[in-house]
Amino acid sequence: MRYAHEVGKVRAAEQALMARLPEGALMQRAAAGLASTCARLLPRVYGARVVLLVGGGDNGGDALYAGARLARRGAVVEAVLAGSKVHGPGLEALRSAGGRVLDGSGQNAERAVETADLVIDGLTGIGGTGALREPHASLARCTEYAEGVVVACDVPSGVDAGSGRVDGVAVRADVTVTFGTYKPGLLIDPGAAHCGVVELVDIGLGADLPDPDVVAPWAEDLRVPRPAPESDKYRRGVVGIVAGGERYTGAAMLCVGGAVRGGAGMVRFASSPHPVELVRQRWPEAVATVIEPAPDAPAKVGRVQAWVVGPGLGTDRKAETLVEAVLRTDLPVLVDADGLTVLARRRDLLRRDAPTVLTPHAGELARLLGPGTTRELIEARRLEHVRRAAAELSATVLLKGSTTLVAEEDRPVRVNPTGTSWLATAGTGDVLSGLAGALLAAGMPAIDAATAAAYLHGLAARLAAAGPPGPDGPDLGRQAPISALDVVTALPEAFRTLG
């Protein structure tokens, strides 16, 4: 797992550690790690042109000390000061090592940034919030035209380290070197999109850090159920799916496909006659049943271990009856798409003891949270709103988007690292619902099922977009458009990557 901590907790851990260390030792550790990473990014250090963008905080000091280390190895280092406030000892160290100082205004600074082999962004630190002011904003904008590698110190300037929020201009780094622990804003869009590759430098904070606020899993952190020698289809998990209608039949087929390829021992599908017939033709493995909207509809489907309800179901009174009937059961339930629209007007249905997983995009979550909450507000503050939703709705909430987040009350928020913009196509959410439902039916706790489903779903999209693997595996750098059905087809390969 990658563990991320909120800014206040990082500050407290730093203070506790600094109290036990000689003065300045912690900054020297950070500067050493930053300089080492920068040296690796340069073809050679001797003669390389390095420009430091230096603000008045500790990150400016980190950049100055790192620049001094590079200068002592023969790099030509110039510091652009963003204002009169500067870290004095760091500036003295840079000058003693042969570094030069440029005024933060004027074309000389812009030209230096644009033509450098490497630029270190030390304008602001993890305490920076809101839009960058001048001259910081202009200097950050210069990095857009930098010919060399842009390295952010701890967090790209203009990115809120605690949330990933970006107000106005922000540095878009190729590499971000962060210290001690990850910060949530490095993992969550829009901030994550500005970070490039994130390198973590250990400066000794571990013992002083509390439990993390956000975690991002690696493949080895996921434990999906595997069939044992004594397994049968019932032990592997039977998922019931209530989806589709006369208008939206594709949602039903994609949801069932996600469950079939997601490892379900059996899929029981229930809907109106037309989608039932289509599912029978496309997925003969599924047991399909025609049902009428009624309180006892789930009982007529047969024994299941978890339910998925909502994709393509419609939002009329008949759909509401089916959503209510499923949520009245004592089994885990995943609600998606039209089912979420029903819940937006019937939040009382969420008062239940069994696990409930909700899988909204930002617009659906805005409706669930009610007046005063908009899609735009949620997109800007994804972490804040997914936490709020988990608490208010008493559910496991999987917020879909460029960074998919999974939240339960009083637990670290899970961040999915495999998301891809190729998933921005109709029907992929239905695939995710079926996949997550299969994992729920297999007995996984709700937050683990949602986390694993998001990971596998994103990875399957990447594999599908990359096409058939060559001798060195899939070429994820050369991708092509995909459909939701392509994601279904790639799910077995995604599962194989988990070992």
CA 450/CA 457 separation, integer angstroms? 10
Tell me which long-range contacts 97-105 makes (C-beta under 8 A, separation of at least 24).
97/67, 97/68, 97/69, 97/71, 97/72, 98/71, 98/72, 99/52, 99/67, 99/68, 99/71, 102/78, 104/80, 104/135, 104/139, 105/135
| 451 assigned ligand-binding residue | no
Burial grade of 472 (CB within 10 A; 0-12, 13-18, 19 or more): exposed
| 319 assigned ligand-binding residue | no
CA 96/CA 113 separation, integer angstroms? 22
| 157 assigned ligand-binding residue | yes
CA 259/CA 264 separation, integer angstroms? 6
Cβ contacts of 338 within 8 Å, gap of 6 or more:
248, 310, 311, 312, 313, 314, 315, 319
| 131 assigned ligand-binding residue | yes
CA 33/CA 66 separation, integer angstroms? 8
413-414-415 Cα angle (round to 5): 120
Compute CA distances 435 → 225, 243, 254, 431, 438, whole Å.
Answer: 13, 14, 10, 6, 5
| 336 assigned ligand-binding residue | no
| 403 assigned ligand-binding residue | yes
| 339 assigned ligand-binding residue | no
Residue 135, preceding peptide bond in cis (omega within 30° of 0):
yes
| 127 assigned ligand-binding residue | yes
| 213 assigned ligand-binding residue | no
Cβ contacts of 288 within 8 Å, gap of 6 or more:
268, 269, 270, 271, 276, 277, 279, 280
| 233 assigned ligand-binding residue | no
| 62 assigned ligand-binding residue | yes
| 33 assigned ligand-binding residue | no
| 125 assigned ligand-binding residue | yes
CA 109/CA 377 separation, integer angstroms? 36
| 429 assigned ligand-binding residue | yes
Cβ contacts of 6 within 8 Å, gap of 6 or more:
162, 183, 184, 213
| 404 assigned ligand-binding residue | yes
| 194 assigned ligand-binding residue | no
| 108 assigned ligand-binding residue | no
How many helices (H) and strands (E) would you count in the chain?
A: 17, 18
Binding residues for (6S)-NADPHX: 58-62, 125-131, 154, 251, 312, 361, 430
Q: Which residues are annotated as a binding site for AMP?
A: 400-404, 429
- Name the binding residues for K(+): 59, 121, 157
Q: Which segments are annotated as binding site? A: 58-62, 121, 125-131, 154, 157, 251, 312, 361, 400-404, 429-430
